[in-house]
Amino acid sequence: MGRIIFGYIFRELWSPFLISLFSLTSLLLTIRMIPLSGLLLKERAGVSEFFQVFQSLYPYFLVFCLPMSALVASLVAFLRLSQDSELLAFEALGVSFYELLAPVTTFALIVFSLTMLVTVYVLPQSKANFRQFMRHLLSQKIARGLPEKTFASEIPGLTIYAGQTHGGGLRLREVFLYDGRKKDPESLILAQSGRIDPKGPTLILKDGVIHRFYQKQDKGEIIRFGTMTIKLTLGAPPGTAKRRGEMGLLELRERAKDFPPGSKRRLKLESEFHKRLAFPFASIIFSILGAALAAQIKGSGRSAGVSLAVILFLLYYGALAGATGLAETGRIPPVLSLWLPNIFFGLLSGGLVLLSGQSLKITLGRKKP
């Protein structure tokens, strides 16, 4: 195949890909940002906070939109080539359908590389940044004061209740506080009064008593105090373990070794590891699948191609979700389960490629006198 034909098909793929990628990511981001915007406006967040949320969420949706946009691009591009009889023209010139897949494969490898980069490196950090930002936002909410006679549980493991509040919720009386952040011991604190220092933010309690419960030792203790200071920060303390979605591939593998084979925690970590590796290959599979499928549905337009792409991707994502469930419960080893959707759609893609190549030859043979 000549350089001109290669470049022609390669360029045909990028226009629908970029349009689809922009449309899908914009739609998903808008849907996600609507409820978050209410929270951000309520907490008086500025432009920088909105941009930070956008920056953290974008990679999450980009990971899903890249393979789907690749499928839309190949479907739409080859549907146009098929409708305009260009596929038959190329076949008549001696350029087979298999050769036309060369620019598609190059395109697929580029999208695959982008998806792998985002999945392995960018997404974990974005998830960590988003969680940290939401922690900071909620801690600032508490720093502005507590409502009266309301249980405030914005901080995980910490519940605060004040019978009376003054000064915009910064000065408290009849304070009840449950602190289960350390789990052992758990603490129940009662204080006559307290105040919130927004600079920390910290909660300063006065004239109270602490009831501590040690579950492992099955005992408790009571401590009286005159003044007690409690940090109200939601930031993750140093040494706090990352969530699996925030770990890199090496971290996932090393962390999995800390648990016995077949244990629930190990299966979840191994599932995340293989899912992170398997998903980017969907970009290659869908790019080739779209081209082969378009050659078979010649009479359909672009809207039909986009609809078909959405259905196929939803089927793939549903299969991946099912495979994840099987892997995390130990019914099928993660190393096999998370790759089954790729294997199935890869075989489907290969079969359609062979069928499309043969059908074009047969169609061309019938049209010859």
The whole-number average pLDDT for the span 24-42 is 84
Residue 209 has pLDDT above 70, yes or no: yes
pLDDT value of residue 235:
52
pLDDT value of residue 242:
78
- What is the domain partition of the chain in residue ranges? 3-139+243-367, 156-231
**Sheet containing strand 186-197, strands side by side:** 158-166, 171-179, 186-197, 202-214, 219-231
Is the previous residue joined to 201 through a cis bond, with omega within 30 degrees of 0? yes
- Measure CA 288 to chain center: 24
pLDDT tier, 339 (very low <50, low <70, confident <90, very high otherwise): very high
The whole-number average pLDDT for the span 110-125 is 93
The whole-number average pLDDT for the span 63-70 is 93
Residue 50 has pLDDT above 90, yes or no: no
- Buried b or exposed e, range 264-296, using 16+ CB within 10 angstroms: eebbbbbbbbbbbbbbbbbbbbbbbbbbbbbbe
Lowest mean pLDDT among 65-69, 240-244, 327-331: 240-244
Q: What is the pTM of this model?
A: 0.77
pLDDT value of residue 163:
87
